[in-house]
A = this chain, B = another copy of it.
Amino acid sequence: MDKTAVNVTEYMQAMGARARAAARHMAAATCGQKNAALLAIAEQLEQSRESLQSANAIDMQQGQQRGLDAPTLDRLELTDDRINAMADGCRQVATLADPIGEVTDLAYRPSGIQVGQMRVPLGVIGIIYESRPNVTVDAAILCIKSGNATILRGGSESINSNKAVAACISRGLEQAGLSADSVQVVETTDRQAVGELITMSEYVDVIVPRGGKSLIERISNESRVPVIKHLDGICHVYIDRDADLEKAINIAFNAKTHRYGVCNAMETLLLHKDIANELLPSLVERYVAHGVELRGCEKTRAIIAMNAATDEDWSTEYLGPILSIKTVDSFDQAVEHIARYSSAHTESIVTESYTRGRSFMRQVDSSSVMINASTRFADGFEYGLGAEIGISTDKLHARGPVGLEGLTSQKYVVFGDGHVRS
């Protein structure tokens, strides 16, 4: 036991040291080299379809033996479509503009120096995720394009698939003349590896955990490295007194039913009392026809029968076909409810009122605040980031969908001509 412990520590420390060294090379890599690597990885994935799928078959078989549930097995499987999607992802990221080296706001100061900011990689990014082999590629290519080195730690059930995917990434990097150490997959399933990864702050600059809320909370609490984290999405739509009712119904329906198990789905609908009578019957009919269970506050249930919402409902991310509905007396009450119960992910107001729309945008403190649009738009691709490593519910560094720019920092650059301070 003691021996294993030392070995995992040594294994992770050595991996960290290699990542730190590789990060310097990646920071200096040209856009051309990085794109060449992405295209080479795409080809490697397509050419290795058989070895990827035979490695994946071992994981699938062991997963079935261990009794993994159907959704987990589904996410674990490397189907032909998923391998195609991974390769497409590489090619798509290759088309994105290189954020690294971009200089902004370069301006002359009264002293005569020119000062601007240059975008630079963060360094080494540790990514911890569930047993989804395609995430190995998705995460790796964003780190490559943003000039970072990365250490990837996927769920233990996908270990064989991840090793096979990692081999493709390594070959692609080497073909482009980049260091294979810039993307390393943790090849031990020992849980201690996670503990090492999130505490070796000399080698890792930021941790991005992907997975359930409890995993992310645990990592945030134990990490000695900054974490870009995404907790829950308790998203609200507020239908204002001055809403266009057709838009309101479409948005409220789409925000709940377009997909259930996603963080940007609406979990609570807030209705102004003046339009509740007119709106609720047709809205409820549509939800019920779609199999959505409704739980209402007292005022809502006085208009139309449904289950009662408890205080716990307002704080629950259902991630399923359930919706809580609250009828409010005023705009202010809606904003108060959001301030109290929202997870600060995404909220939307439906209104034609200029004044209340403007107030909502300013007063609601969530990573995405919308007017007359479905919460389902809170997404890196819909926002034009071109890619997404996750959605941050933090306020520091990155907030909302995190694309390439979220994996970078900015340093100041100063151009002088012999200038000294006087």
Which residues of A line the B interface, CB within 8 A?
Answer: 24, 27-28, 101, 107, 109, 111, 113, 115, 118, 120, 122-123, 205-206, 221, 224, 226, 244, 246-247, 250-251, 253-255, 258, 339, 348, 361-363, 365-374, 376-378, 382-384, 394-397, 399-401, 409-421
Contact = CB atoms under 8 A, between A and B. Distances in A.
A383 B383 CA distance: 32
26 contacts: A28-B363, A113-B373, A120-B395, A205-B395, A205-B396, A226-B394, A226-B396, A244-B418, A246-B418, A253-B420, A254-B421, A258-B421, A367-B412, A368-B412, A368-B413, A369-B411, A369-B413, A372-B417, A373-B416, A373-B419, A374-B420, A377-B419, A383-B412, A395-B409, A399-B412, A400-B412
Given A365-B411, A395-B409, 10 more contacts: A27-B365, A107-B384, A115-B382, A244-B418, A251-B419, A254-B420, A254-B421, A373-B418, A373-B419, A373-B420
Copies of this chain, tallied across the complex: 2
A373 B246 contact: no
Given A247-B418, A258-B421, A396-B396, A412 B378 contact: yes
A223 to B, nearest CB: 11
Contacts of A123: 365, 395
Contacts of A376: 420-421
Nearest to A248: B418
B247 A417 contact: yes
Contact of A371 (B226, B399, B416): B416
